[in-house]
Amino acid sequence: MGACSCLLGAFSHVVLSMYDIKDDDIYASVNTLAPSSLERQLPLLELLKDFMSGKVAFRNIMNIILVGVDSIINERTTQTYGIILERTVLLSLEIFILVMERDLALADVFRPLYQPLDVILAQSHRQIVALLEFVRYDYLPQIQQCSIKIMGILSSRIVGLVQLLLKADVGKMVIEDYAACLEFRFDDFQVIEDTKDDVGVLTLQLLVDNICRPAPNITHLLLGFDVNGSIEQTVLKPKSQYSCLKIILDNLEKATKPDINSLLHEFSFQLLYELCLDPLTCGPVMDLLSTKKYQFFSKHVGTIGVTPLPKRNSNQSLRISMLHERAWLLKMLALALHISDISSSVYREACMAILYHTFGQCAENFQSTSLIHSHDALTSISDVPAKRNKVLDLLEVLQFRCPDTSTKYPQLLSSLGIESKIEEILRNSATFENGGVYYYSERGDRLIDLDAFREKLLQISQELNSQLTEPEKAGLKESVHHLLKWAWRYNKNLEEQAAQLHMLTGWSQIVEVAVSRRMSLFEDCSQLLFELLDASLNATTSPDCSVKMAYVLTNVSLTCMAKLRDERFICPAGTDSDAVTCLDIISSKQLPNAACNSLLFKLVMATLRNESSEILRRRQYALLLSYFQYCSSILDSDVPPSVLRFLLLEEQDGDDEDITLQKVLKEHNELAHANFSIIRKEAQAIVDLVTKDAFHGSEAGKALSFYVLDALISIDHEKYFLNQLQSRGILRSCLSDVANYLSKDSSLASESSQRFCTVDAQFSLLLRLSHHYGKHGSQILLSMGALQNLSACNLMGGQKKVNPRAISKIVKERTGEIDKRSLITPVLRIVTSFTSLVDSADFLEVKNKIVREIVDFAKQHQSVFNSILRENMTGTNLLTLEQLSMAVSILSKVWAYEENEECSYIQDLFSLMHSLFSVDFGILNFMQSPNMIENQKSELIAFGLCFSLVSYLYVLATRKNMRFQVSYGRNSDQQHPTLQMVSDLLNSATLALERVGEEKYMLLNKIRDLNELSRKEVDEIIKVCMKQDCISPNDNIRKRRYIAMIDLCCMAGNRDQLITLLLQITECAVTILLIHFQDDASAKGLSSFSDELLPVLERLEHLKEDKVGRSLKLFHRSITTLKEMTIRTITI
């Protein structure tokens, strides 16, 4: 009986393995007109139909399996028919696998008569159990392999497989059988060459593949999750429950026999990582791994992680597996750091252990506060001294030259002209099932299938054989053999490349997570960030570093640099006091200049590396920009040095004279000059590279390239980079691109949005030119025809809208805002910079070229100026106010000398004067914003607008000798400037001076008394400034006071700027009034006007220097003079 069964099984196995089913065969089986190839496939199809309908062959083979594993074990032990039965069972299991590899292709055609095999098996639970229980048969590993493969297939098809096993009351048996199988494999001392025959690897892959399947699934069952209840509420207890999880954890803790079990360790780490990633299993697994018993995972960083890799030529497979093993370990630890809730003491200790064993440090105060109640945990963490940052050692392990995967063809193939055919075969990315030569390994690597590749090469050889001589045939045979050897090496080298990149990805994840989320747990943050930045840049400049690796390393560098910039403005630690001082603002965490110089040098070398790509350079450009921002952010730009200097004078004692604002600024200047010197040494290469990307790169690459050029201009101390840009024609090209873009109608498409970013970067470069080089930069732009180009633009075309269906709502809103306002703003900024070139003495020259060009620009864009000037200012935003301020500033400086009435903005300017000069900006809130700082900025811009308007009146009164009426005539159709308007502005400015001076005084006092305020009062300050997102509930009072001090200093700085502006407005208004009082013709009829003016002048006389922070001697002299003339007018 056993022999007959073996023969039946062997016959079926041969039939199933000899033939393969193609789509044509399936079509032919249901279509009598199909080709006659059906005859060849008929035995296979009939056998498949038999199995898919549960008929004779299926029942016979199934009856062999239903004998049961226990009976087979007994027969094998007694050796009655054991060997034959064993062989029969193996053939039967392989038959089931072969059928299940083919049945789905036929099921869709043959339904409902024929069903997939899993449906047939599910008709009796006993059949499925019989197939799966053979994992217990350890006399022949091939039987275990087949049983595990069948479990994998059935678990992917039968959603309720776990419930089926539980209903059959074999759940516990299956758990223990798989655990025993895995344990036996871990204890084995034999190296298994083919991973497809490794029962341990098959088991772990089964567990990994089933994690994301509907719960409860086989992974949940085999690892000991509560499959009868809630998976996410499971409390895992591997100590008391014999399961695969217990075997995996016990063996990972020991990590023995790496030469034999490296693949098992690799897939075990992958399994744990995937479990931590899955939303159902994450909680239970993280709770388990965070306990003290399993903190050995973090210790493995210093053991498994930094162990030298075996040599490539001695054991490349082990080398590859060890790289993947470390990658999964690092990714698992990074994930634990990322998702752990450190408010829990268990998770907090686990995170500390990871940081301590990986980075070699954690904050001492954190140890003392969080671990004081857990002496054992503190002892376990401090058992191993943190001598060196293991992350740096891990990076050293990674730094080796990638193996070569390029194709090298024998000379004969080139001479025969078949090299192109082989290249075509290799270019086809299809797998061997679809006519290609590739397959995907268990790790997901696309490798060459040697059998399929050999067949393709033999086909080519057979086509050429008739045309070749005997020596050529022998040479071709040798070339084919050479190509197959190359393909084998290619697979291994590609696997090693992927493994190296995989480990680097794991390394980058743990570094970036620790840096971005757990910096508060480190003791010396700045030093750690510098070490990581330095190591990453060193690795990037190495000739062994590939482009893909350099990209990952540059991303790490970007994260570290961003965190360094954050560290600059985080409240300084290291003190037990809750008080903050102004010194904390300027003595913030800053790397020494030498460290900064070293980073810049390595960054330049990394950017200029031979092997590169545009995507990599974009990241490097972003890193370079981030570095320059770090170096330039010595002080908050909104905190003026005058405020800091005032506060420092009160805080400093004699012993603190060295720590001064001047010293900080001096060090900053030294760093800026050093940065310029380093860049200048490689200036030619850098500018060539950036220029190439600016002209020929993608839109994103162009934008970043122009921002880099902008940054180079900002550090230029000798006009060196200016000459470089001019000689390459970059500035002229920018101007041309901007003009062309603005001349076209804008679109809301994605391409247009990207193009806008490039144009914005080009505007930034042009504006930087005029800002950094002053009048010289503006003259250069003017000489290149900037005004003519901008005058020819269709600025209003940017406001046209398109079909909103073309884009999403978010893109529409964002781009709509860009089209309406943002394109006009940079244009006005550039034109405003040109007004600085016009000397006031030349304004009367009608033929003045600059004046004429600016006037022509205003005429050309009359619709734009009219739209801005007539904008409703109620509830407006900062951008609209800025545009209005710039438009008025431009017109006020040149329009007084335009005598053509066809295009006139005079009435618009006079209308603005009438509406603004009598406004008390302290009461009226243009922004209507709850943000106090935003409101102050809007008030500053509004008074800047008033200054431009009164400056225009000043020019009319002084240069054009225009005299104004006392008040506005009611019968006039047009508005004209009046002395009453000037008086109203003077009154408004006086009220503002009194109020703003008092506000500044109160703000400075509040800064002095900040350390005496309660937490509630400090939080009120932060709330008013809308900085609640800068603090968390766990932040202490010192950090809150630091943030509040920064905000108060910004507000005081704004008030200081506004005082300066108000004094200038007042001086202009007083001068205009003095001119009228000194003019005999105008002085007549000013008696009633003087009565109203006198109280305003008296209030100005009482302004105190301590409130405004400036000397008022000359100011009071002008006020006194005007007051005397006012009194004289009243008495006459």
Q: Angle between the 1113-1131 and 1087-1101 helix axes, to the nearest 10 degrees?
A: 150
Asked whether the beta carbons of 671 and 596 are under 8 A apart, the reply is yes
Of 332, 353, 351, 355, residue with least CA distance to 343: 351
Taken as a whole, the chain contains a residue count of 1132
| pLDDT of amino acid 1021 | 84
Q: How would DSSP label each residue in 867-935?
A: HHHT---TT--HHHHHHHHHHHHHHHHHGGG----SS--HHHHHHHHHHHTT--TTT--SS--S-HHHH
Tell me how far apart the alpha carbons of residues 88 and 86 are, in angstroms, rounded to a whole number: 5
Please report, for residues 213, 985, 986, the alpha-carbon distance to residue 978 in angstroms, rounded to integers and kept in the order given. 82, 11, 13
Q: Is 255 left (phi over 0), alpha (psi -120 to 50) or beta?
A: left
Asked whether the beta carbons of 21 and 41 are under 8 A apart, the reply is yes
Residue 610 DSSP class: S
Please report, for residues 734, 852, 898, 910, the alpha-carbon distance to residue 856 in angstroms, rounded to integers and kept in the order given. 22, 6, 10, 21
Structural Rg of the chain based on CA atoms: 40
Tell me how far apart the alpha carbons of residues 934 and 878 are, in angstroms, rounded to a whole number: 8
Within 8 A by CB and 6+ apart from 906, the residues are 895
Phi, psi of 438 (to 5 degrees): -110, 160
| pLDDT of amino acid 337 | 93
Q: Hunting for tokens 């092997």 — which residue is that?
A: 611
Tell me how far apart the alpha carbons of residues 618 and 761 are, in angstroms, rounded to a whole number: 14
Query: Largest alpha-carbon pair distance within the chain?
Result: 142
| pLDDT of amino acid 1071 | 93
Taken in order 675, 677, 678, 683, the sign of the CA dihedral is positive
Of 983, 996, 995, 993, residue with least CA distance to 1096: 983
Of 55, 57, 76, 79, residue with least CA distance to 67: 76
Burial 670-698 (b: 16+ CB within 10 A, else e): ebbebbbebbbeebeebbebbbebbeebe
The DSSP bridge partners found for residue 447 are 439
Domain ranges of the chain: 524-572+582-681, 901-1131
Tell me how far apart the alpha carbons of residues 738 and 742 are, in angstroms, rounded to a whole number: 6
What count of other Cβ atoms lies within 10 Å of the Cβ of residue 550? 24
Burial 964-997 (b: 16+ CB within 10 A, else e): bebeeeeeeeebbbbbbbbbbbbbbbbbbbbbbb
Asked whether the beta carbons of 220 and 227 are under 8 A apart, the reply is yes
Tell me how far apart the alpha carbons of residues 511 and 1099 are, in angstroms, rounded to a whole number: 62
Phi, psi of 639 (to 5 degrees): -105, 100
Tell me how far apart the alpha carbons of residues 259 and 189 are, in angstroms, rounded to a whole number: 10
Asked whether the beta carbons of 623 and 554 are under 8 A apart, the reply is yes
Q: Hunting for tokens 């990674």 — which residue is that?
A: 398
Tell me how far apart the alpha carbons of residues 703 and 618 are, in angstroms, rounded to a whole number: 9
Q: Hunting for tokens 């490296």 — which residue is that?
A: 262
Of 11, 96, 108, 7, residue with least CA distance to 54: 96
Q: What average pLDDT values come out for the chain (1132 residues) when binned by 10 residues? A: 50 51 53 44 76 90 90 78 83 91 82 87 93 92 94 93 94 95 90 81 95 94 93 91 94 89 94 95 94 88 90 90 95 94 89 90 53 42 58 91 75 76 88 88 91 89 80 84 90 93 96 91 85 95 92 96 80 63 66 92 94 94 93 66 70 53 79 92 93 91 94 89 90 89 63 81 92 89 88 63 39 44 83 80 58 86 86 76 90 78 77 83 57 82 91 88 78 75 91 89 86 85 76 77 84 89 93 88 80 89 82 88 87 73
Please report, for residues 550, 568, 611, 748, 752, the alpha-carbon distance to residue 700 in angstroms, rounded to integers and kept in the order given. 19, 29, 20, 17, 12
Q: Hunting for tokens 């719960």 — which residue is that?
A: 215
Tell me how far apart the alpha carbons of residues 767 and 788 are, in angstroms, rounded to a whole number: 17
Within 8 A by CB and 6+ apart from 550, the residues are 540, 606, 609, 611, 612, 616
The DSSP bridge partners found for residue 965 are 978
Q: Hunting for tokens 């330039």 — which residue is that?
A: 632
Strand, helix or coil at 978? strand
Asked whether the beta carbons of 1049 and 643 are under 8 A apart, the reply is yes
Residue type, 634: I
Asked whether the beta carbons of 516 and 582 are under 8 A apart, the reply is no
Asked whether the beta carbons of 250 and 191 are under 8 A apart, the reply is no
| pLDDT of amino acid 958 | 86
Asked whether the beta carbons of 710 and 767 are under 8 A apart, the reply is no
Of 1062, 1059, 1028, 1043, residue with least CA distance to 931: 1028
Alpha carbon 1118 to its chain's center? 58
Please give the structure tokens belonging to residue 94: 């392989």
What count of other Cβ atoms lies within 10 Å of the Cβ of residue 614? 16
The DSSP bridge partners found for residue 978 are 965
Strand, helix or coil at 392? helix
Please give the structure tokens belonging to residue 696: 């020929």
Tell me how far apart the alpha carbons of residues 100 and 157 are, in angstroms, rounded to a whole number: 11
- DSSP H stretches of helix in 774-870: 775-783, 786-791, 809-817, 824-835, 849-860, 862-869
Tell me how far apart the alpha carbons of residues 219 and 210 are, in angstroms, rounded to a whole number: 6
> Which H/E stretch holds residue 448?
strand 446-448
| pLDDT of amino acid 370 | 42
Tell me how far apart the alpha carbons of residues 491 and 643 are, in angstroms, rounded to a whole number: 66
